[in-house]
Each structure stands twice: as structure tokens, then as C-alpha cells.
Amino acid sequence: MTGWLRSCGAACLLLLAASLPGAAGEPFITVASTTSTEESGLFGHLLPAFTWHTGIQVRVVAVGTGQALKIAEHGDCDVVFVHDTPAELAFVDRGFGVDRHDVMYNDFILVGPASDPARVRGGKDIVATLRRIAEAKAPFVARGDDSGTSKAELRLWKEAGVDPGKSTDGWYRDIGSGMGAALNATAAMDGYTLSDRGTWLNFKNKRNLQIVVEGDRRLFNQYGVMLVNPAKHAAIKADLGRKFISWLTSATGQNTIADYTVNGEQLFFPNAKD
């Protein structure tokens, strides 16, 4: 998917968010967030609880982290809730975001086919695993959408000393799409991909895919939230946005995050600091 198509898709999502129904005069904020908070089902659990406690509706634009930050930079949302700490801190340093907080974490996992052509199942070293996949030229599906997951994947390839984008053998497939689409593509081609655990647990079309590598400390996945700087954009609903951030990081919000499970398994672990 080209950058132009991604921008058009984000613009359509913004228009859709702006057109969502609501009672006249009902307060709302727009949150640009990563696809994993949406596709994992977390927002379906979390946001109604926030609205019940505060009366504030939340309209979500679910895109990759990089695109969410661009939307915020343009002042087209009030709050950003994403998962790429270096990019988030750079966003704040550049003056586009304020009041950033850690909210929760989970981890990334490597999923692959039961046949495991690269013979990596059960490994704990994600960097060594990626080298083996490259050596085996086993199919690997990359999101390639500037998401937090994509950024994490590229950092891991760099640490492995592999530039998969230069491969001419066709084993590295950059699809430029979200996590759900990447998992569907991986299942269809019996390949490997890096996924956040939350989306994986809520994903229904696993077919013959399974977790093959997990537990490496480098797979830690932190989520953060911040207000778009109202000094940059006068239309930002700073008061409502701060209420959302305060609730997320409060005991009530943190407990609501912890209470979200799929098949009895907790998907996200709250870690907001006082």
C-alpha cells in the first residue's frame, strides 16, 4: 500500500469518526490509536466504561502508530493512545504532544505455521530466530504500515544484521496493512509474522498458525497516552482529553484494563505510574 493510499484511508477514518451518531450536545473526544487496541477488543470493553463514568463519548481512529501521530500532529484528534515509546517521546519533544503517561503493556510474539519450515519453534531469542528465517528464506509477512509493531519488527531485523527489504527472493512480504490483515496473509501463505499478543488472542482465523517464539525481553510492548498540544491547535478539547487520560491512569481505569480477558487470558497489564 502506498503512502498516498494510507493517507486517504486515514482521512476516511477521520470522516467516519466525525460522523458517528450521538445525542445533540453530547461531549466527545477523538482518539487516534493503534489498531491493536481496536482489533484486540480492548476498546469495546474499555470505552463504554469510561463513558459510563464520565458521560464523555470517544470516537476512535484506529491506524498504525506512525499514522496516528501524524493525525495528531495535524490537530485532527484530541488524544493519542499508541505503542512506540521512542516515537511518542520524540512527538512530545517536538512540541506536538503533552501530558504523556505509560498506561499498560503486553508483549509481541512471533507466530508461524505448524510445519515450522525455519525450525524456530520454542526459541527464546527473537534476533537469532529472525536470522534463521532469513537464512531459510521462509515466508515472512511484514505490516509495513509505520505502526508500532512494524517499527519494533524493523528494529529487531536491524539488531539481527538483516535488511529484509533488500531481499530479491520474495520471502519477505510487505503488505502495508494492519495486524488483522497481516495475520490473515500469514495464515494463507504458511508464513511467519510479528504480532502483538492482544490482537493474536482475539484473532479468529488462526488456521494452522501458532506461537513459535515468545518471552524475549526485547518483545516487551509498552502503550502510552498523551494529549495533543492545545497550544498548537486551538480546537483540541484539552479538558475532555485530560479527563480521558486521568481516567485511564486512575485505579478505576487501570482495573478496567486488567479485567479485559479473552478465554480467561488477560490481554493487557496496567502500569500507569502515580
CB 61 within 8 A of CB 77: yes
Three cell numbers, residue 202: 482475539
Residue 75 main-chain phi, psi, to 5 deg: 80, 25
Task: Match 521462509 to its residue by C-alpha cell.
Answer: 138
Three cell numbers, residue 41: 477488543
Choosing among 3.40.50.1820, 3.40.190.10, 3.40.50.1260, 3.40.50.620, the CATH entry for 3-105+221-270 is 3.40.190.10
CB 171 within 8 A of CB 137: yes
Return the axis-axis angle of helices 238-249 and 42-54, rounded to nearest 10°: 110
Is 107-219 a CATH 3.40.50.1000 domain? no
Domain with CATH 3.40.190.10 in the chain: 3-105+221-270, 107-219
Q: What is the pLDDT along the chain (274 residues), one digit of tens a residue?
A: 444 344 444 444 454 444 444 445 789 999 999 999 999 999 999 999 999 999 999 999 999 999 999 999 999 999 999 999 999 999 999 999 999 999 999 999 999 999 999 999 999 999 999 999 999 999 999 999 999 999 999 999 999 999 998 888 899 999 999 999 999 999 999 999 999 999 999 999 999 999 999 999 999 999 999 999 999 999 999 999 999 999 999 999 999 999 999 999 999 999 998 6
CB 253 within 8 A of CB 53: no
Report the alpha-carbon distance of residue 188 to residue 158 in Å, rounded. 27
The model carries a pTM of 0.88
